[in-house]
Amino acid sequence: MFELQTPAAQSPVRTVRPRSPWIGAQTHAPQARLRLIAFHHAGGNAGFFVPWVRYFQAMDWIEFVAVQLPGRGRRLGEAPYDSLEPLMAAVQQGLEPLLDRPYVLFGFSMGAILAFELALRQQQAQHRRPAALILAGRGAPRTQPPAVQRGAFSREKILRELERLGGTDPALLADGPFMEVFMRTFQADFMVADGHHCPQAQTLQCPLHVWGGADDPEVPIERIYRWDAFSGQGFAGRLFPGDHFFLKSAHAAAMDNLMEILEKARRVQ
């Protein structure tokens, strides 16, 4: 939900100046053969991926880009999107310059919806498809939206939902003025996330990898493996120890698996 700070004991994070408001962070790899584009979770921002920037910044064969959605970070003054269709139209247009070379899409939680939809729309438009799609912390789409959608929750219920999911500092949840600033973004993100559904499975023509947290209260394990129905070029599901924010608690294991996927995507280009 807020920009992560670089620990003083670790090397500083070096990024290039963003070329677009949609780029929240980007490593400098002008000769990269592959680009990894990552979408953050509901209520989050590109700062969630600061550890990833640090991880990739010394690699010259891959460029890492963390997407920044409106309503947070440097784009705090912009209204967040509360509907998927206009958001995806803006995402596809905003990220088009980044799809000029082989790329892999990664999405966490709500970001998994955006990564999935971008891959699907690229395919439907017969544009360059991702070399791989990696989705984390999100179950396969339902055929209909849920009857109860969190975007309509009261402020108090949204705070309880954020506490249930974890990943947000309890001190920030208790900070009334701070939460007031971001409440509109939380509500809009929940409307996007909960409104996503697919009446029938759409087959993706790219390798599909789906990660889940073994103790995630938000995503039942069986919904992780239901993504198999959307795969036309191979599916791999994997569980990591941890809750909804297992990308933090199981960071090393997740990065090891991510590198395996990226190395394979690199070889087939």
Contact 62, 32 (CB under 8 A): yes
Catalytic residue, chosen from 40, 41, 196, 244, is: 244
Helix (H, G, I), strand (E, B) or coil at 234: coil
- Told to judge if 11 belongs to the known catalytic residues of this protein, a careful annotator would answer no
Catalytic residue, chosen from 40, 41, 82, 109, is: 109
Catalytic residue, chosen from 82, 189, 216, 243, is: 216
Contact 83, 195 (CB under 8 A): yes
Rounded (10°) CA dihedral 173, 1, 69, 204: -110
- Told to judge if 82 belongs to the known catalytic residues of this protein, a careful annotator would answer no
Distance of CA 258 to the CA centre of its chain: 14
Structure tokens at 129: 């498809």
Contact 4, 73 (CB under 8 A): no
Helix (H, G, I), strand (E, B) or coil at 102: coil
- 25's CB contacts (< 8 A; 6+ apart) are 13, 15, 18, 46, 47, 49, 50, 53, 64, 65, 66, 68
Q: Cα angle at 247 between 220 and 128, to 5 degrees? A: 90
Residues facing 38 on adjacent strands: 66, 106
- Told to judge if 41 belongs to the known catalytic residues of this protein, a careful annotator would answer no
Structure tokens at 265: 């995507």
Q: Which residues are catalytic?
A: 109, 216, 244
